[in-house]
């Protein structure tokens, strides 16, 4: 059997949104299914609408299909209605490209961007007809791989996933393919799966958990030891030096049915050195590597033409920081080829008036809402988390937006941050009320939506030692805010379920013992846990209890400097000393400037990769102290080396 389509199509009339399962996207490929090739099934463990736009998977999809020895297809988690049918009709997990059964691939590789999808990963493996535990799989089964931000603590999935790839995937995917291809072409009976995994573990950036033994000390803390001498003690993440060498996706997929971020996406830089201490993405993707503006222009132009989209997004962790952002945006909007029909979105706005001006120059006519993320309610707490936005920055941005025709603002905040007091929490309501007041000067329809999420400490951030707030404490803070925002008309409060925050926290810093818990939750029906209508804390609590584990121990407990962390065998490029110093500075409410425009403070990200930040402009962005926390008068004199060093490694 090489396609499930004939069986599948009989049932698609009975499911919600059947177009999720048909493929046919513009840009989709139909690989030849050559036996000698290494075939990858790139799987996003959530529904199609969420998974399809994922840029990481699309980049790997193209790189693999360009290779003469590899081919790649895509799969997404089937929604619960189709899953029921698949189980009763014995339809396995399939690729949407050719509807090939998942078990016929050499590798099933998952993108992990949230902890709550871990049970979906298990479900996908099971739907593929593959044993869930890596130790139960044999030569006849595909390898299970994973990448993405969550693999900076892969331990909860260590007994399930065969290998993890850390960091940028562009180069390592080819390295893995080569090793597998060589192994496959040997065709010798003595080749066992363990040999292959052993070989994979020697690739830089690849972590093979079965090559390490886990022991637990008296306090129950996990320590890993390599089983063989030639397996690395420390696995370093992979970093691509120059984005210009990787102008992917070249053929972004254009779906038939509506998906999130349904537009052309062009990545303008990778990495961020703003240094927000809660932000894992900003820590693990360092250093900053900008794409040359000429290439951005070409990718925009060619991409719009190729896809037929009338909207493009310039993506990064903080797009307003891109050198020459204004020029790129204005030129694209003014380009006669686009007949004035193209709009540009900046998905991550900085909080200042300058940013709003850029937004105003492009979103002609579509002024529905703008989103800002001050993250904390008081300047004191913003210094703790190093999100150095002054109140004036925020009000300036909001004033600028309301005065230019926007009517709705959305403000993002975290609650449960280290050192947070009720004054900080109530500060959220105060900021929002002041924003409404500014808005009312311009329009009676002015409204502000406040969105609060519970803070989850993440590995490789300065807050990795912090014990997160309990569910009760987060609930109390939400209630506090609810009462407070009622006093102002025009504020709407939304919040993330603190119970889900707890589960994220357990998994984010958990260890190998959680694999059994994940399997227990999955087998009692706990899939799509990232969807509030499916999330069920009871399943998690009874799973933890069943294996004698405590959610409090994993999530609520503060760690000290001496305690080994479950991800100590991984290297995200950051010195542990640096993170610890940042943790101490946070507690002393000391901010740290953005190193793109000041001398290096040696976080570790650049050392060893033979590169510096690649930024086209030596001066910090105009307009506002925000984020840089420096004297902007002297900004232009900030010393900085801005080129790739000779590969010193």
Partner 1 sequence: MIVRLRTTKIGKIRFASHRDIAKVWERSLRRAEIPLVYSEGFHPRPKISFGLALPTGAESECEYLDFHLDDKKYENSKIVAIPEVLTTILPEGIEITGMVKMQNKYVSLQQSVTSTTWEIEVEENKEFVDEWVDHVLSSEELIIKRTRKGKEVVDDIRPYIREISVGQGDLNRSTLQAELKTQPRSLRPSEFLASAQPNLTMARLRRLKQFIDTGDNEIGPLELGERLNSDQELCPS
Which parts of this chain interact with partner 1 (CB under 8 A)?
Answer: 5, 9, 12-13, 18-19, 21-24, 26, 254, 256-258, 305-310, 339, 341, 365-366
- DSSP 8-state class, residue 254: B
- CA 299 to chain centroid, in Å, comes to 23
In terms of Cβ atoms closer than 10 Å to its own Cβ (0-12, 13-18, 19+), residue 281 is middle
Nearer to partner 1, 335 or 475 (CB): 335
Beta strand segments in 389-482, E: 408-415, 447-454
Helix axes 514-523, 537-546, angle to 10 degrees: 130
Tokens at 628, concatenated: 């840089």
CB of 508 to partner 1, least distance (A): 37
Nearer to partner 1, 28 or 328 (CB): 28
Residues 6+ apart with CB under 8 A from 151: 112, 164, 165, 166, 207
Residues 441 and 385: their CA atoms lie apart, in Å, by 32
Residues 645 and 649: their CA atoms lie apart, in Å, by 10
Within 10 A of 445 (CB to CB), how many other CB atoms are there?
A: 10
Specify the DSSP element, H or E, that contains 57: helix 55-66
CB of 19 to partner 1, least distance (A): 5
Residues 624 and 635: their CA atoms lie apart, in Å, by 12
Nearer to partner 1, 340 or 599 (CB): 340
CB of 82 to partner 1, least distance (A): 12
Nearer to partner 1, 339 or 648 (CB): 339
For the chain, the farthest-separated pair of C-alpha atoms sits apart, in whole angstroms, at 78
CB of 304 to partner 1, least distance (A): 8
Nearer to partner 1, 24 or 34 (CB): 24
CB of 307 to partner 1, least distance (A): 7
Residues 270 and 290: their CA atoms lie apart, in Å, by 7
CB of 368 to partner 1, least distance (A): 11
| C-alpha to C-alpha distances, 110 to 76, 162, 263, 277, nearest whole angstrom | 10, 11, 23, 27
Nearer to partner 1, 361 or 434 (CB): 361
Nearer to partner 1, 26 or 441 (CB): 26
In the chain, % helix, strand, coil (3-state, to 5) comes to 40, 15, 45
CB of 58 to partner 1, least distance (A): 17
CB of 298 to partner 1, least distance (A): 18
CB of 419 to partner 1, least distance (A): 47
Within 10 A of 149 (CB to CB), how many other CB atoms are there?
A: 18
Within 10 A of 461 (CB to CB), how many other CB atoms are there?
A: 24
Nearer to partner 1, 13 or 588 (CB): 13
Q: For tokens 């933890």, name the residue.
A: 544
Residues 151 and 645: their CA atoms lie apart, in Å, by 29
CB of 363 to partner 1, least distance (A): 12
Nearer to partner 1, 310 or 602 (CB): 310
CB of 256 to partner 1, least distance (A): 5
Nearer to partner 1, 212 or 406 (CB): 406
Q: Across the beta sheet with 447-454, what order do the strands follow?
A: 369-375, 408-415, 447-454, 491-495
Tokens at 125, concatenated: 């493996």
Nearer to partner 1, 306 or 407 (CB): 306
């Amino acid at each position: 059997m090489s396609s499930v389509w004939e069986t599948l199509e009989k049932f698609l009339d009975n499911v919600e949104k059947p177009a999720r399962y048909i493929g046919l996207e513009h840009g989709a490929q139909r690989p030849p299914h050559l036996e000698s090739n290494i075939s990858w099934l790139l799987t996003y463990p959530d529904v199609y609408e969420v998974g399809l736009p994922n840029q990481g998977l699309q980049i790997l999809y193209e790189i693999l299909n360009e290779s003469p020895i590899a081919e790649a297809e895509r799969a997404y988690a089937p929604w619960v209605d189709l899953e029921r049918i698949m189980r009763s009709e014995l339809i396995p997990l399939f690729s949407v490209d050719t509807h090939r059964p998942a078990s016929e691939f050499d590798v099933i590789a998952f993108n992990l961007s949230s902890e709550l999808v871990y049970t979906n990963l298990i479900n996908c493996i099971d739907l593929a007809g593959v044993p869930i535990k890596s130790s139960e799989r044999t030569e006849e089964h595909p390898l299970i791989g994973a990448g993405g931000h969550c693999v900076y603590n892969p331990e909860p999935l260590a007994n399930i996933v065969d290998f993890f790839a850390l960091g940028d995937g562009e180069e390592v995917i080819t390295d893995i393919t080569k090793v597998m291809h060589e192994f496959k072409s040997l065709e010798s009976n003595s080749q066992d799966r363990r040999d292959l995994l052993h070989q994979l573990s020697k690739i830089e950036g690849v972590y093979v958990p079965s090559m390490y033994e886990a022991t637990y000390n008296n306090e129950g803390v996990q320590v890993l030891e390599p089983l063989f001498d030639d397996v690395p003690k420390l696995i370093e993440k992979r970093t691509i030096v120059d984005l210009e060498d990787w102008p992917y996706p070249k053929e972004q997929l254009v779906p038939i049915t509506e998906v999130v971020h349904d537009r052309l996406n062009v990545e303008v830089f990778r990495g961020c050195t703003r240094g927000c201490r809660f932000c894992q993405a900003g820590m693990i993707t360092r250093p900053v590597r900008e794409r040359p503006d000429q290439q951005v222009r070409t990718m925009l132009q060619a991409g719009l033409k190729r896809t037929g989209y009338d909207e493009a997004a310039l993506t990064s962790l903080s797009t307003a920081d891109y050198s020459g952002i204004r020029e790129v945006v204005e030129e694209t909007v003014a380009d006669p080829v686009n007949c004035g029909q193209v709009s540009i979105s900046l998905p991550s706005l900085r909080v200042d008036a300058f940013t709003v001006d850029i937004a105003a120059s492009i979103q002609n006519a579509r002024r529905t809402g703008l989103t800002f993320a001050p993250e904390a309610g008081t300047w004191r707490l913003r210094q703790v988390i190093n999100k150095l936005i002054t109140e004036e920055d925020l009000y300036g941005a909001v004033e600028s937006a309301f005065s230019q025709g926007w009517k709705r603002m959305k403000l993002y905040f975290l609650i449960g941050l280290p050192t947070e007091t009720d004054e900080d929490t109530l500060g959220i309501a105060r900021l929002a009320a002041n924003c409404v007041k500014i808005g009312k000067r311009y329009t009676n329809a002015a409204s502000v939506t406040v969105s609060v999420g519970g803070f989850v400490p993440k590995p490789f951030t300065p807050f990795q030692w912090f014990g997160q707030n309990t569910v009760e404490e987060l609930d109390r803070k939400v209630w506090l805010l609810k009462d407070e925002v009622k006093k102002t008309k025009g504020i709407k409060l939304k919040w993330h379920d603190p119970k889900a925050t707890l589960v994220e926290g357990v998994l984010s810093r958990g260890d190998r013992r959680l694999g059994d818990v994940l399997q227990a939750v999955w087998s009692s029906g706990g899939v799509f846990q990232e969807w509030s209508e499916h999330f069920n804390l009871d399943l998690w609590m009874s799973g933890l209890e069943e294996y004698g584990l405590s959610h409090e121990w994993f999530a609520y407990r503060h760690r000290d400097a001496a305690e080994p962390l479950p991800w100590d065998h991984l290297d995200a490029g950051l010195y542990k000393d640096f993170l610890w110093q940042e943790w101490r500075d946070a507690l002393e409410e000391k901010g740290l400037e953005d190193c793109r425009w000041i001398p290096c403070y040696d976080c570790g990200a650049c050392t060893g990769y033979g590169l510096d930040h690649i930024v086209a402009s030596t001066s910090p962005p105009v307009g506002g102290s925000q984020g840089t926390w420096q004297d902007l008068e002297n900004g232009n004199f900030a010393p900085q080396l801005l080129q790739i060093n000779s590969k010193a490694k």
